[in-house]
Chain A
């Protein structure tokens, strides 16, 4: 009886998840009357706006990931090594982006960094891009921090640090040659989640008026029928590819040094 209930729950979950996807995919293939075709996909991929906005978002994602790694890895490492009692408070701060809406964050940015402020980042395209990157890093902080912190949990940070110090290593060497390679899989997990967030983000990019992929999807969705469905399927594909890559790199992780039997 329990087994039947479990299978029923699984079937319901699968249908709940797959049916809309299948419907959307089927709809995206119906652009040509009476036959299935990839016309909607071809039109989307050929659109210069698609290429421009997608490239912009990928570049922004790369910078966001780099900034996130530089911010989160040393912070999470230092908290584990020197401030273990501060960990709950740091975790709380990293969770704030989940409860503070993106629109509140971006309005805060606009008020703080507008052209009449002491740091007028919104005055130039580069400044606004930097501001948007900070915003993306904030949105991805809960995921990046958790991923890195989980990675650090699998290694004995304190003893490895002390061993490296006794061998003459400084902080940069310890972080760059020992800690980062040992949490690389966790960092990549965080990086792929960040990529997925940046590719789909709308609010910040739209309010900062940047040519990102999210606002392009919204614009397309408001004016066309089949192309938005094709775009949604492409976006899903990118997300799933990221998740697949997370699984792939997890296999390449350095294993903890648990001794085999003597």
Chain B
């Protein structure tokens, strides 16, 4: 993020009794940016979202929007829209009633409410459902209405708390594309909480990965995936084979893995020959075809998993295990268990993890 932050979360922590669930988190979100908070259950991502919404008060730190401190404002005074995992539509109100609720509370006149409700229904593609009640809608439709309700009062920030988790896989994919398109069309600053890495990587301008109340890494989806800074991020985002290695030559970027030696690695400045280091490589970075500059190793096939478009092969080099992903090619024979094959990878594809 290069411009001045629109939403600033400064050194916030949150404790529930003796348990600290968020530890000194600093996040800056630009105007119109879509940032995902990604992490396993209990990592503190939803707690940060709830502190931004005003449902929880930070134990320490502050939150500001466009330079205005909102840390201790009531939720109703923040002008923040929120979409919940369980939709949280008001059962006694129709779709139009739900979407217009925030405007009615704000004292907007009837004609303007009707106009805005029509706009929102058109935006979510459900103009014919204005008079239906929530129980008459599918899960996907309910979540679209919840989104329209949240953005109808033109909030300064939109918070999405795992809005796709309760939907089935196909609806999830189509709705995440819709949400992203609407967010870009309106240019609304958005925070999206999810534990689904595919959602986070596909929708976001930037992703913040959290673990045990701490921010592990903030970066673009490509940075998070290709250059994870910690072993947790490496393991949590995508599939990664981690290999214990010993540094043998700093100048040539050389390390020994089991009985094999890999050279041309980008080793951290802090290591010296003889140090133990953890290397990591993604399954799709390992190939069965050689290219210029590739490192080549011999590996034994332990198992072959057919995943449709992709075949995932579990390999061992000595006692080190790793995975290889290859596209399914019906014209080629499938690899067999127990077979010894040559595998190839670019040294740049190997990550040296610092912790």
B76 at the interface (CB under 8 A from A): yes
**Cβ contact within 8 Å between A178 and B92:** yes
Q: Which residue from B77, B91, B105 sits with its C-beta under 8 Å from A155?
A: B91
A52 at the interface (CB under 8 A from B): no
**Cβ contact within 8 Å between A163 and B168:** no
Give min CB distance, A41 to chain B, whole Å.
42
With a cutoff of 8 Å between Cβ atoms, the chain A residues found around residue B102 in the complex are: 167-168
With a cutoff of 8 Å between Cβ atoms, the chain A residues found around residue B167 in the complex are: 262
| A-contact bits for B123-163, CB 8 A (1 contact / 0 none) | 00000000001111111111000000110010000010000
B84 at the interface (CB under 8 A from A): yes
Q: Which of the candidate stretches A21-29, A30-38, A214-222, A252-260 sits at the interface with the other chain?
A: A252-260
A156 to B146 Cα, complex, angstroms: 15
**Cβ contact within 8 Å between A260 and B75:** no
Give min CB distance, B104 to chain A, whole Å.
9
Give min CB distance, B344 to chain A, whole Å.
44
A58 to B226 Cα, complex, angstroms: 75
Least CB separation from A259: chain B residue: B139
**Cβ contact within 8 Å between A182 and B91:** yes
B81 at the interface (CB under 8 A from A): yes
With a cutoff of 8 Å between Cβ atoms, the chain B residues found around residue A166 in the complex are: 53-54, 75-76, 78, 80-82, 150, 159
Known: A166-B150, A167-B102. A257 touches B76 (CB 8 A): no
A160 to B87 Cα, complex, angstroms: 9
List which A214-257 residues lie within 8 A (CB) of chain B.
254-257
A105 at the interface (CB under 8 A from B): no
**Cβ contact within 8 Å between B105 and A262:** no
| B-contact bits for A148-185, CB 8 A (1 contact / 0 none) | 00000001100110111111111001000010011000
| Chain B count of residues within 8 A CB distance of the other chain | 41
**Cβ contact within 8 Å between A162 and B76:** no
A163 to B106 Cα, complex, angstroms: 15
Least CB separation from B80: chain A residue: A166
A261 at the interface (CB under 8 A from B): yes
**Cβ contact within 8 Å between A254 and B88:** no
Give min CB distance, B92 to chain A, whole Å.
4
**Cβ contact within 8 Å between B74 and A165:** yes
**Cβ contact within 8 Å between A159 and B84:** yes
List which B88-125 residues lie within 8 A (CB) of chain A.
88-92, 101-102, 105-106
A255 to B90 Cα, complex, angstroms: 10
Known: A169-B105, A258-B135, A261-B138. A162 touches B171 (CB 8 A): no
B72 at the interface (CB under 8 A from A): no
With a cutoff of 8 Å between Cβ atoms, the chain A residues found around residue B139 in the complex are: 259, 262
**Cβ contact within 8 Å between A165 and B75:** yes
Binding site for A on B (CB under 8 A): 53-55, 74-82, 84, 86-92, 101-102, 105-106, 133-142, 149-150, 153, 159, 167-168, 171
**Cβ contact within 8 Å between B89 and A164:** no
Across the A-B interface, give the 7 residue pairs with the lowest CB-CB distance, nearest first: A167-B102, A257-B134, A259-B139, A163-B88, A165-B75, A181-B92, A255-B135
A160 to B77 Cα, complex, angstroms: 17
16 A-B pairs in the complex with CB atoms less than 8 angstroms apart: A155-B91, A156-B86, A160-B90, A163-B88, A164-B90, A165-B54, A166-B53, A166-B76, A167-B81, A167-B105, A167-B150, A168-B105, A178-B90, A257-B133, A257-B134, A259-B137
**Cβ contact within 8 Å between A254 and B138:** no
Binding site for B on A (CB under 8 A): 155-156, 159-160, 162-170, 173, 178, 181-182, 254-262
**Cβ contact within 8 Å between B142 and A257:** yes
A261 to B135 Cα, complex, angstroms: 11
Least CB separation from A163: chain B residue: B88
Give min CB distance, A53 to chain B, whole Å.
38
A181 to B55 Cα, complex, angstroms: 24
18 more A-B contacts (CB under 8 A) besides A162-B88, A181-B92? A155-B91, A156-B86, A159-B84, A160-B88, A162-B75, A162-B84, A163-B90, A164-B105, A166-B53, A166-B150, A166-B159, A167-B81, A170-B76, A182-B91, A254-B133, A256-B135, A259-B139, A261-B138
A22 to B218 Cα, complex, angstroms: 79
Q: Which residue from A155, A164, A257, A260 sits with its C-beta under 8 Å from B101?
A: A164
With a cutoff of 8 Å between Cβ atoms, the chain B residues found around residue A170 in the complex are: 76
Q: Which residue from B106, B142, B159 sits with its C-beta under 8 Å from A168?
A: B106
Give min CB distance, B82 to chain A, whole Å.
4
Least CB separation from A169: chain B residue: B105
**Cβ contact within 8 Å between B88 and A262:** no
A158 to B301 Cα, complex, angstroms: 53
**Cβ contact within 8 Å between A162 and B153:** no
With a cutoff of 8 Å between Cβ atoms, the chain A residues found around residue B105 in the complex are: 164, 167-169, 173
With a cutoff of 8 Å between Cβ atoms, the chain A residues found around residue B53 in the complex are: 162, 166
A166 to B160 Cα, complex, angstroms: 12
**Cβ contact within 8 Å between A262 and B135:** no
A164 to B105 Cα, complex, angstroms: 9
A173 to B136 Cα, complex, angstroms: 25
**Cβ contact within 8 Å between A254 and B92:** yes
With a cutoff of 8 Å between Cβ atoms, the chain A residues found around residue B84 in the complex are: 159, 162-163
